[in-house]
Amino acid sequence: MENIAEEGIRPFNVIIVFFSATGNTRKIADVIENKLSEFNVSVTQFDISSPQDRNKSISFSDYDAVFFGFPIYSLRAPRVCREWLMRQNGESKRCSVFFTYGGFGKEPAHYYIKELLEERNFSLVSTAEFLGAHTFNYSGWQAAQGRPGPSDLKVAEDYTIKTLERFRADDLITVTDFEKPPFPAEQLDEAEKYRFHLITQLPTRDGKECCLCMQCEELCPTGSMDAVRGVVNPESCIACFRCIASCPEGVLHTNDIANSWENKLKMHNTTKEEIDRMESRIFL
């Protein structure tokens, strides 16, 4: 790998590609960008949350290294992100992946993203996981409220420095091997397709009036929202709640699932306090 960046001839060139429906993953991307700028690194952010942006192409050969940021949906990076990645060519570039998640399952995310990135000709040097308020808190859960918080952002700074060291090192050191999860990918595909429909209903305006700013329709990651009718297409909606989070009038909502919260905790043999105490982590 070239070392001219360190020698001050030109800045090291990094792209941060991320998907963020409700803002947690974007917060970590911003911390990484700020930290990198302290080290003579030129940073480009590329947001792939909307379908229009996922249709633009990135030439990875224009960059020295890549950060990818994804939320965890049903134990892995969201399907729309994996499908986008399947169309990319990593051009042998070094990369790192950071996830945000709501305090439940996350191990398969690291294993499966490594497999996918290597298939696409990227070299994965590190990964990280950050606590982030669970999307379903919009419907009454209380998982990882207020996260990412100051302690998570500190881990994000540390992660940036350690990853940059690996990006710039002469020798390639790839991230540790992750244990193969007990759930085959096909089983997770099924869970991702149907599970959340059992928990939450789809976002709706319930016939209420709104100013028709169209933001929910423009920002929907799968083009599922019909702003005029105030309903989503149940076939393609991924329940990311970007429409709810971005509605300036707060008129979009889903059903209240507060009564499933205790069951969720029991199913995972955990407590709200235990999740609150969880820490963000770096994997090298």
Ligand X SMILES: Cc1cc2nc3c(=O)[nH]c(=O)nc-3n(C[C@H](O)[C@H](O)[C@H](O)COP(=O)(O)O)c2cc1C
Give residues in contact with ligand X (CB under 6 A): 20-25, 71-75, 100-106, 132-135, 196, 239-240
In the complex with ligand X, the residue whose CB is nearer, 26 or 166, is: 26
Q: Which residue has the tokens 């076939």?
A: 235
In the complex with ligand X, the residue whose CB is nearer, 5 or 216, is: 216
Smallest CA-to-CA distance from 31 within 49, 43, 19 is with: 43
Query: Rounded to the nearest whole angstrom, what is the least distance from the CB of residue 136 to ligand X in the complex?
Result: 6
Q: Which residues contact 158 (CB under 8 A, 6 or more apart)?
A: 282
In the complex with ligand X, the residue whose CB is nearer, 2 or 262, is: 262
Query: Rounded to the nearest whole angstrom, what is the least distance from the CB of residue 143 to ligand X in the complex?
Result: 7
DSSP conformation class of 254: -
Burial class (CB in 10 A: 0-12, 13-18, 19+), 104: middle
**Beta-strand runs (E) in the chain:** 12-18, 41-47, 65-71, 94-101, 123-131, 225-226, 231-232, 281-283
In the complex with ligand X, the residue whose CB is nearer, 74 or 123, is: 74
Q: Which residues contact 138 (CB under 8 A, 6 or more apart)?
A: 22, 241, 244, 245, 253, 254
Query: Rounded to the nearest whole angstrom, what is the least distance from the CB of residue 15 to ligand X in the complex?
Result: 18
Q: What tokens were used for 171?
A: 């020798």
Query: Rounded to the nearest whole angstrom, what is the least distance from the CB of residue 27 to ligand X in the complex?
Result: 8
Pairing of strands 123-131, 225-226: unpaired
Query: Rounded to the nearest whole angstrom, what is the least distance from the CB of residue 22 to ligand X in the complex?
Result: 3
In the complex with ligand X, the residue whose CB is nearer, 174 or 246, is: 246
For ligand X, the nearest residue by Cβ is 132
